[in-house]
Amino acid sequence: MKWFKVFESKESALNTIPDKGVKLLLLGQRRIALARFDDKIFATADACPHNGESLSKGSINYLGEIICPWHNYRFNIKSGTECQNRTQDLQTFPIECRADGLFIGIPE
Ligand code: FES
């Protein structure tokens, strides 16, 4: 696992991503969807497992599911599981809040 610092602090992340918002993060060749729910930050692959739409164009509902803007499939933002098992799981990435910033772990 390789860790990337993406914000100076959790507060900085919360100030950048609105509540139930999703932002695109480019890490080298990887496209990551950064989402905020319940004042926590989550990271998933940006490409929807169904047909590749960008999930950073989607939204988060009150259940903490990221909703794809194309066919409205819903993925649990923590586990990546699609709510009706209509497609494979969305890849999720761990987030760590450390004294020197907020980090995302990417498998090598
Ligand atoms: S591409 Fe995301 S639900 Fe179809």
Pocket of ligand 1 (CB under 6 A): 48, 50-51, 53, 68, 70-71, 73
Q: In the chain, which residues have pLDDT < 70?
A: none
Domains parsed from the chain with CATH numbers: 18-96 (2.102.10.10)
Task: Look at strands 2-7 and 59-60 and give their pairing.
Answer: unpaired
- The predicted structure's pLDDT at residue 108: 87
Atom number, ligand 1, closest to the C-alpha of residue 55: 2
Q: How much distance in Å is there from the Cα of 12 to the middle of ligand 1?
A: 30
pLDDT, one tens digit per residue, over 60-80 is 999 999 999 999 999 999 999
Structure-block tokens of residue 82: 């699609």
Longest Cα pair distance anywhere in the chain, in angstroms?
A: 40
Choose among 2, 7, 86: nearest CA to 65: 86
Q: Which residues, in sequence order, are bridge partners of residue 7?
A: 102
